[in-house]
Chains A and B, each alone.
Chain A
């Protein structure tokens, strides 16, 4: 055997070895990672689906939409849960590795809710007022008709999809006030506002427990709207959004079956149970 053939044979053997390694590395079960807003919803879906399909294995983890998208790009999750659309840069990174821009599937609807302490007398805010609170130009509740108390602003980390959504839709892409206290999850924001009469926070509608959701009006001429199912579905609530599954390729096999079930009436009933709104 001459040198070239020998090297080609070695290369073929290595490829065959990698093929076997690929089989060995293929994980069992479905991994879903990403949005903290969606983590409870994902867990509920997984529990019910695994109960109905005993052979199925689904693992749900949070970390934030940004973390989930990064995991989708580097191949450590099959499905990314995201509470915001993927950015162009992220799609291009995915394309660099997989030659595709990914597949986006809306699986639920949410209204990003503005949380106030139950004792807060404020009954509504306009988008401009909300922007003023979060960019730091409004710092006292008295400027909004409330008590003479400083506003304590709670926000999320930059890996959060809700953070990005809020920044884009409320602040128009501009920076949050440096006074905003960054908290690691929506539950932490809710907990902070529940215990702080001067506090304001934001997050998914399903997390609102023990506090007041503040209705929002697009501008001073239009009525304030609460994030009800009807207002979120018809888009009259200014901070209505879709919650997404992202995949690297079109769903097939076990992943396809799970997503089909998530979008079925049964899967969408769980969306309502958790506190979000169905996509259909």
Chain B
């Protein structure tokens, strides 16, 4: 019996020893597995950090842009289709047509808080790819919120409200006529300093070549030391914003012999009031005035001889006064925008531009109305009707408004 009991104890001890050995083996095996998994996790973490570093680099490149495609139609068969821009281009052989107004891509490289570079191209209208903007922007290192920025290159002229407002967010397809004539292409080359003194108050001061990107001789225009100066002060309260802008420069009219230089001055004031109806949605009333002195193509035509094969000289006509090549102008617009729910928006604008305030029947006036439908966060459709009033002399003392109203149907996708 004792032997039997001893045998059982011995077997039990052997079994326990075996179990302990197994447990020890499995524990060390488990530890090895944990170490293996920990190593794998560490390796994966290193890989993730390496990928993250590459992603962080790629995130410094920011692509954006938009495409605007249109169908434009003149008012009547005998009318011409007015292509946007200043001076407006008319074509009688293309009364109704599909048109790519803008196809734009912008690349911003943002290295962080202190500097960035922007290049911006447009391939719309006539298929030619043009450089719209290219500038280097440097922020000041001495204010925490980087309140002062210096931009050097080609950028929007910092004047007024509608010039710097992207065409991708504008409620009507085109800007006012005054802006189109006074700042064709909206952009120029130079340097500007933007200072945000408070969240509401901002000033911009710029020195520009003065010709603008749509000048026939751009970018070689104005190689002289005489640069144009422009400045703007804006108070942006949120509900009611106002700004005062000024521009001072010189225009050169090339003649045979000494050229004629005339004043190019512009004073602008703009204001926007925003309101919110509880069910309908937000709305705004906006206005802007442009006034000053600028060279007048009509005056140049009247006061300067046209070169011909018999007389290739381009001279002031006898008795003409050089200063009269420039005239006082006045342009303005009033605009109303009303959102209707989340997807619809209506807009109406009346704008006027008088290139010579001392002469009748040379002013342009226009009523624009439009409806925007926001299909999703990127795409919107616009229907706009453009009703310009332009006097055309139909004989001595008789003036008429031609039938040149235009329908525009536009689809835009922004990315």
Answer whether A101 and B274 are a contact pair too, CB < 8 Å, given A18-B373, A22-B373, A173-B144.
yes
Residues of A within 8 A of B165 (CB): 96
Residues of B within 8 A of A137 (CB): none
Cα–Cα, bound, A97→B347 (Å): 12
B281 close to A98 (CB less than 8 A): yes
Residues of B within 8 A of A248 (CB): 281-282, 342
Residues of B within 8 A of A14 (CB): 381, 383, 409
Answer whether A91 and B238 are a contact pair too, CB < 8 Å, given A7-B73, A100-B281, A182-B52.
yes
Answer whether A173 and B374 are a contact pair too, CB < 8 Å, given A75-B342, A99-B282.
no
B279 close to A252 (CB less than 8 A): yes
B276 close to A174 (CB less than 8 A): no
Residues of B within 8 A of A11 (CB): 383, 385, 407, 409
Interface flags, B229-241, vs A, CB<8A=1, else 0 = 0000000101100
CB distance from B198 to the nearest CB of A (A): 10
Q: Is A172 an interface residue (CB 8 A)?
A: yes
Q: Could you tell me which residues of chain A, from 137 to 182, have a CB within 8 Å of some CB in chain B?
A: 171-175, 181-182
A101 close to B144 (CB less than 8 A): no
Residues of A within 8 A of B56 (CB): 182
CB distance from B48 to the nearest CB of A (A): 10
Cα–Cα, bound, A4→B145 (Å): 54
A74 close to B373 (CB less than 8 A): no
Q: Which residue of B lies closest to A158 (CB)?
A: B59
Answer whether A252 and B113 are a contact pair too, CB < 8 Å, given A91-B238, A101-B239.
no
Q: Is B371 an interface residue (CB 8 A)?
A: yes
Cα–Cα, bound, A277→B283 (Å): 36
Q: Is A119 an interface residue (CB 8 A)?
A: no
Q: Which residue of B lies closest to A101 (CB)?
A: B238
Number of A residues contacting the other chain (C-beta, 8 Å)? 37
Q: Is B339 an interface residue (CB 8 A)?
A: yes
Q: Is B87 an interface residue (CB 8 A)?
A: no
- For the residues of A in contact with B, the DSSP-based class is helix
CB distance from A226 to the nearest CB of B (A): 27
Interface flags, A1-42, vs B, CB<8A=1, else 0 = 011100100010011001101100100000000000000000
B381 close to A18 (CB less than 8 A): yes
A92 close to B282 (CB less than 8 A): no
Q: Could you tell me which residues of chain B, from 121 to 149, have a CB within 8 Å of some CB in chain A?
A: 144-146
Q: Which residue of A lies closest to B165 (CB)?
A: A96
Cα–Cα, bound, A3→B407 (Å): 11
Answer whether A250 and B238 are a contact pair too, CB < 8 Å, given A74-B378, A173-B145.
no
Interface flags, B51-81, vs A, CB<8A=1, else 0 = 0100010000000000000000101110000
Q: Is A209 an interface residue (CB 8 A)?
A: no
Cα–Cα, bound, A188→B10 (Å): 55
Q: Is B258 an interface residue (CB 8 A)?
A: no
Answer whether A92 and B236 are a contact pair too, CB < 8 Å, given A25-B343, A97-B169, A249-B281.
yes
Q: Is A95 an interface residue (CB 8 A)?
A: yes
CB distance from A171 to the nearest CB of B (A): 8
A99 close to B339 (CB less than 8 A): yes
B375 close to A95 (CB less than 8 A): no
A75 close to B145 (CB less than 8 A): no
Cα–Cα, bound, A57→B145 (Å): 41
Cα–Cα, bound, A215→B283 (Å): 47
Q: Is B216 an interface residue (CB 8 A)?
A: no
A98 close to B282 (CB less than 8 A): yes
CB distance from A84 to the nearest CB of B (A): 14
A4 close to B75 (CB less than 8 A): yes
Residues of B within 8 A of A250 (CB): 276, 278
Q: Is B257 an interface residue (CB 8 A)?
A: no
Cα–Cα, bound, A268→B237 (Å): 33
Cα–Cα, bound, A18→B405 (Å): 24
Cα–Cα, bound, A35→B378 (Å): 22
Which of B236, B276, B385 has the most chain A CB atoms closer than 10 A to its own CB? B276
B339 close to A98 (CB less than 8 A): yes
CB distance from B321 to the nearest CB of A (A): 46
Q: Is B223 an interface residue (CB 8 A)?
A: no
Interface flags, B181-205, vs A, CB<8A=1, else 0 = 0000000000000000001100000
Residues of B within 8 A of A97 (CB): 169, 374
Residues of B within 8 A of A22 (CB): 341, 343-344, 373
B279 close to A25 (CB less than 8 A): no
Additional pairs, 8, CB under 8 Å, beyond known A7-B407, A14-B381, A96-B165: A3-B75, A19-B344, A74-B377, A76-B377, A96-B169, A99-B281, A175-B112, A248-B342
Question: What are 12 A-B contacts defined by CB distance under 8 Å?
Answer: A4-B405, A7-B407, A11-B383, A22-B373, A71-B377, A99-B283, A99-B337, A174-B144, A181-B49, A248-B342, A249-B278, A249-B282
Interface residues of B, Cβ cutoff 8 Å to A: 49, 52, 56, 73, 75-77, 112-113, 144-146, 165, 169, 199-200, 236, 238-239, 274-276, 278-279, 281-284, 337-339, 341-344, 371, 373-378, 381, 383, 385, 405, 407, 409
